Chains A and B, each alone.
Chain A
Amino acid sequence: MTEQPLLVAERVTKRFPGVVALRQVSLTVYAGQVLGVIGENGAGKSTLMKVLAGVLSMDGGHLHWEGVPVTFSSACQAARLGIVLIHQELSLLPNLSAGANIFLGREPRRAGWIRQHALAERAKRIMARVGLQLSPETPVAALPMGQRQLLEIARSLASDARLIIMDEPTSSLSEEEAQRLFDVIDELKRSGVAILYVSHRLREVEMLADRVCVLMDGRNVAELEGKDICRNVMVRSMVGRELKRWRRPAVTQQPTEPVLEASGVATSTWPEQEVTLSLHRSEVVGLAGLVGAGRTALLNALFGLDARAAGRILVNGQQVMFGDPTAAMAAGLALVPEDRAGQGLVLQMSVQHNMTLAAFALRHRAVSVARSWERARCLELCARLGIDKARRSSMVRLLSGGNQQKVVLGKWLLLRPKVLLMDEPTRGIDVGAKQEIYGVMRELARAGMAIAFASSEMEEVLQVADRVVVMHEGHIAGSLTGSEITERRIMRLAAGLHPVMA
């Protein structure tokens, strides 16, 4: 490559309290190319992206923009050069409209007044490019997560970005929305925009990236090009070993007795639809579907978080009331929610305190916190889930995503639930930890638990589920078992089509 690189980072170092997040990391980005950045959780990917976008300052190293040395003391300076970071946690303002968000800070104006019509006009054109058919007046708070992600990308298009950094851009997108994003990325490449693509989803990296930079423990460990960009090589260089993957048993399981029988469940999100679903002992059911198809709404309703839900839920033949999570827990239900940081964990509390938080709700007669009991349970769970027991009293915020999710799991295992509901069980978790979580799920199922998990990751559904239930616009479009479970059938059902082509 003789061409002048757009951005060169040399020996970038970044320290945080207690850890060195980046040790002399270097990378080079060329205009019109996609550079994939991969690595396990805690490898330093997100930190590196934040440094490149000027959100975090560097403790050492140099940056060159088109050959000229630059330093960023704020994200503004990076933005002025055309560097845009699309955050893992979205940074849209939910109280403003879609149009206002797209042009935030760059509103078309005349003498200080915003030109509303021009703004709406341009917003509409830009949204069309990412396939969003919305009125620019729609408040962002009313949009589902998948659409917000696309809106975020639309925002970077509006700013004439030259380098777009995407951190796990598809984590909340359905397959269809993700495909649209890939088309947008292709278009951006052709127009000379460089893209830094950070993702755990190696299939996407394989498909999109021209070059791949692999990080491990805050260091460069490999740089891949050409035919080296394939799953096996990437996984090997990321974890430094071949990955042992859990495989779904080929034989269809013997039918077991139902543990949970939900009938005629209408959620407040889809009040017109009625869902009937049963989960059996030792069964792992994957809930597939597009984002917004009603999977989260269903799981939340089953766990008693939807006060306006209607229908009937029986657990082991006993009816469970809606709208009361404590009652759902007492009946043997548990929910690992979609938003780990917001709903699953109290980030500022310790591992131990998070793990016992739910158990107290059912042991309400126990007024005082029995510390020895708490400690013993936590140690057991750490051993069982593979969490370093030395981290027992550290704040959950400081753990990697995989370990955080294990803490959420541990919280529920303490209650010995009969039915475990999981919403996006491995979102934003590295490949190694994913397999560990799958292993735990299978082990729990073997011990008799019924598990239902909603997932937007096709690979995960294909790999883990004994039975796949596909949702479409609030109802169950179909249920697949054994050899029927194919990507094609799931996709057709999710899109509201007949599973087999007529």
Chain B
Amino acid sequence: MRKIAGISGVLVAVFVLTAVLEPNFLTGYNLQNTLRWTGLFGIISIGAAFVIIAGGIDLSTGSVVGLIGVMVPLLLADQGWSVPVVLTAALGAALAIGLLHGALVTRLRLQPFVVTLCGLLIYRGLARWITGDQTQGFGMGFDGLRQLAIGRISVTASFGIPIPFLIMLVLAVLSALLLNRTVWGRYIKALGHNEEAARYSGINTRRMVVVAYVIAALTAALGGLLFALDVNSVQPAAQGGFYELYAIAAAVLGGCSLRGGEGSIAGVVIGAAVLRLLYNAINILGIPTQLEFAIIGAVILCGVAADEIVRRLAAARAARSAA
């Protein structure tokens, strides 16, 4: 709980500061957009968090977003496949990617960093090759499907809750239940802390690692689908670029340790929200957008450092009170 308190504080601080400095920040349109993007990035961050909690890392997220993002409009608009078939194909592709990562990590004992780095390169290459590097889109059609990304549930005339945000909330609740209330979640945490002890306790650690990579690939694919439906103009070389780093950053901001075992879904979602909020603040406050990465990097660094300092102070206080 304490871990979430820190990042929640940052979220509130950035929100209030931006609102005070620029009243336009609070317009319904702007808030709605920020929520939509929080939802989209939250989805891929949750998947990244599962792999990190299991003690691994997934660098392929952005490329999977790109690959699925071009695949869906290509098959729907270009090839004229039906919607259910295309969605099934996308699901199958993501499943295959997750299983492949998991198998390479658990069977061949390759390092997750290497496996998913190669994935990053391979899926990006595939995305560009199958489209001939041509921008993909849904044109004017598929309005129903696109509502998944651009739709909203109106609250007032100018503000509604975006559908992607709701999808992310549902996913977050399911993920939190999986992580905290199921045997699989317990296993993933245990093996993230100490894989050998988990194996000595009779846990099928290989299967649980594969599960984590499959979850990451599936969420990346879901994100890829929604991102594509949202922008409607998908560039094979750029779609989803660097998104794996956003996802990892959100997970780390939300309290996941890259050493494995630690982390909560609520923290990850708030981490993703902080990143989107910062991005929005930079734009709306007229800060040069060239500084975007620098500012986000600095905030993450400060957040992680502050967390560490607070923990040490708490430890020192506990030591003194015991004396």
Residues of A within 8 A of B (CB): 15-20, 305, 325-326, 328-329, 335, 337, 342-349, 353, 357-358, 360-364, 366-369, 411
A15 touching B322 in the complex, CB below 8 Å, given contacts A343-B200, A364-B183:
yes
Q: Taking the complex as formed, is B201 at the interface, i.e. its CB lies under 8 A from any CB of chain A?
A: yes
Does the CB pair A20–B322 fall under 8 Å? Answer: yes
Contact B322 A357 (CB under 8 A): no
Residues of the A chain whose Cβ atoms lie less than 8 Å from the Cβ of B322: 15-20
Task: Name the residue in B185, B193, B262 with the highest tally of chain A Cβ atoms < 10 Å from its Cβ.
Answer: B193
Q: Are A369 and B198 in contact (CB under 8 A)?
A: no
- Whether B200 lies near A325 (C-beta < 8 A) is yes
Q: How far is the CA of A353 from the CA of B323 in the complex (A)?
A: 30
Q: A328 to chain B: which residues have CB within 8 Å?
A: 202
In the complex, A305→B154 CA distance in Å? 58
Residues of B within 8 A of A347 (CB): 193-194
CB of B238 closer than 8 Å to a CB of A:
no
Chain A contacts for B181, CB-based, 8 A? 368-369
B interface residues, Cβ below 8 angstroms from A: 180-187, 189-190, 193-194, 196-204, 261-262, 314-316, 318-320, 322-323
Residues of A within 8 A of B203 (CB): 326, 357-358, 361
Determine how close the nearest CB of chain A comes to the CB of B85; give it in whole angstroms: 31
Complex CA gap A345/B203 in Å reads: 13
- Further contacts, 11 of them, CB under 8 A, given A328-B202, A344-B200, A367-B184: A19-B319, A20-B323, A325-B200, A346-B190, A346-B194, A349-B189, A353-B186, A357-B198, A358-B202, A363-B183, A369-B180
Residues A368 and B204 in contact, CB atoms below 8 Å apart: no
A348/B200 in contact, CB under 8 A: no
Closest B residue by C-beta to A19:
B322
Instruction: Determine the distance from Cα of A111 to Cα of B146 in the docked complex, in whole angstroms.
Output: 69
Q: Which one of B196, B197, B201 contacts A361 once the chains associate, using CB atoms below 8 Å?
A: B201
Given contacts A346-B197, A367-B182, contact A326 B318 (CB under 8 A): no
Per the bound structure, the CA–CA distance linking A305 and B183 in Å amounts to: 22
Min CB distance A347 to B, Å, is 7
Q: Residue on A with the closest CB to B184?
A: A367
Assess the B186–A357 pair: CB atoms within 8 A: yes
8 of the cross-chain contacts (CB-CB < 8 Å) are A16-B322, A19-B322, A346-B190, A347-B193, A347-B194, A348-B194, A360-B186, A362-B202
Among B189, B190, B197, B316, the residue within 8 A (CB) of A343 is B197
Q: Is the CB of B201 within 8 A of A411?
A: yes
Complex alpha-carbon distance, A157 and B187, angstroms? 45
Nearest CB in chain B to that of A337: its residue? B200
Bound form: Cα–Cα A360–B198 in Å = 11
Given contacts A364-B183, A369-B183, contact A335 B200 (CB under 8 A): yes
Question: B interface, by DSSP: helix, strand, loop or mixed?
Answer: helix
Given contacts A325-B202, A349-B190, A411-B201, contact A17 B183 (CB under 8 A): no
> Please, which residue of chain A has its CB at the minimum distance from the CB of B195?
A346
The 6 closest A-B pairs by CB, nearest first: A17-B318, A361-B202, A358-B201, A15-B319, A17-B315, A360-B183
Q: Which residue of B lies closest to A360 (CB)?
A: B183
- Are A369 and B186 in contact, CB atoms less than 8 angstroms apart? yes
Best-buried of A325, A362, A366 by chain B (most CB within 10 Å): A325
B191 CB to closest chain A CB, in angstroms? 8
For residue B319, give the distance in angstroms from its CB to the closest CB of chain A. 4
Contacts of A15 in B (CB 8 A): 319-320, 322-323
Chain A residues near B186 (CB-CB < 8 A): 353, 357, 360, 369
Residues of A contacting B316 in the complex (Cβ-Cβ under 8 angstroms): 17
CB distance from B207 to the nearest CB of A (A): 11
| Chain A, Cβ-Cβ closest to B312 | A17
B193:A349 contact, CB within 8 angstroms: yes
Q: Which residues of A contact B200 (CB under 8 A)?
A: 305, 325, 335, 337, 343-344
Given A360-B186, A362-B202 in contact, is the A18-B197 Cβ separation under 8 Å? no
- Complex CA–CA separation, A289 to B262 (angstroms): 41
Q: Are A345 and B198 in contact (CB under 8 A)?
A: no
Contacts of A342 in B (CB 8 A): 194, 196-197
Interface centre among A19, A328, A342, A348 (most CB of B within 10 A): A348
| A149→B262 CA distance, assembly (Å) | 34
Closest chain-B Cβ to A188's Cβ sits at a distance in Å of: 36
A47 to chain B, nearest CB (A): 13
Among B180, B189, B197, find the residue whose CB has the most chain A CB atoms closer than 10 A: B197
For the complex, what is the distance from the CA of A411 to the CA of B197, rounded to whole Å? 12
Q: Inside 8 A of A16's CB, which chain B residues have their CB?
A: 319, 322
A411 to B203, CA, bound (A): 13
Closest to B186 in A: A369
- CB nearest neighbor in A for B260: A348
Q: Are A345 and B202 in contact (CB under 8 A)?
A: no
Nearest-Cβ distance from residue A132 to partner chain B, whole angstroms: 28
Q: Give A401 Cβ to nearest chain B Cβ, in Å.
A: 16
Q: Which residues of B contact A361 (CB under 8 A)?
A: 201-204
Instruction: Identify B319's interface contact among A18, A360, A364, CB under 8 A.
Output: A18
Cross-chain contact A346 with B193 (CB below 8 angstroms): yes
**Cα–Cα, bound, A337→B199 (Å):** 11
A16 to B, closest residue via Cβ: B319
Task: Please name the residue on chain A nearest to B319 by beta carbon.
Answer: A15
Query: Would A368 and B182 count as touching, CB distance under 8 A?
Result: yes
Task: Tell me which residues across on chain A come within 8 A of B198, comparing CB atoms.
Answer: 346, 357
Which residue of A is nearest B189, CB measured? A349
When chains A and B are docked, how far (Å) is the Cα of A328 from the Cα of B203? 12
- Of all chain A residues, the one with the shortest Cβ separation from B194 is A346
Shortest beta-carbon distance, A320 to chain B, in Å?
13
How far is B201's CA from A335's CA once the two chains are assembled, in angstroms?
A: 9
- Docked CA distance A16–B319 (Å): 5
Smallest CB gap from B180: residue in A:
A369
State whether B194 touches A329 (Cβ < 8 A). no
Q: Is B204's CB under 8 angstroms from A326's CB?
A: yes
A366 to B314, CA, bound (A): 38
* A448 → chain B closest CB, angstroms: 22
Enumerate chain B residues within 8 angstroms of A366, measured Cβ to Cβ: 183
A321 to chain B, nearest CB (A): 13
Nearest B residue (CB) for A333 = B202
Min CB distance, A296 to chain B, in Å? 12
Q: Which residues of A contact B261 (CB under 8 A)?
A: 346, 348-349
A394 CB to nearest chain B CB (Å): 13
Q: Which residue of chain B is the closest to A340 with respect to CB atoms?
A: B197
Bound CA–CA A457/B39 (angstroms):
60
- Given known contacts A326-B202, A362-B202, A345 and B197 CB-to-CB distance under 8 angstroms: yes
Cβ distance A263 to chain B, nearest Cβ, rounded Å: 24
Give the CA-CA distance A14 to B2 in the complex, in Å: 27
Bound CA span A328–B201, Å: 11
Q: How far is the CA of A342 from the CA of B196 in the complex (A)?
A: 7
* Neighbouring B residues of A411 by C-beta, 8 Å: 201
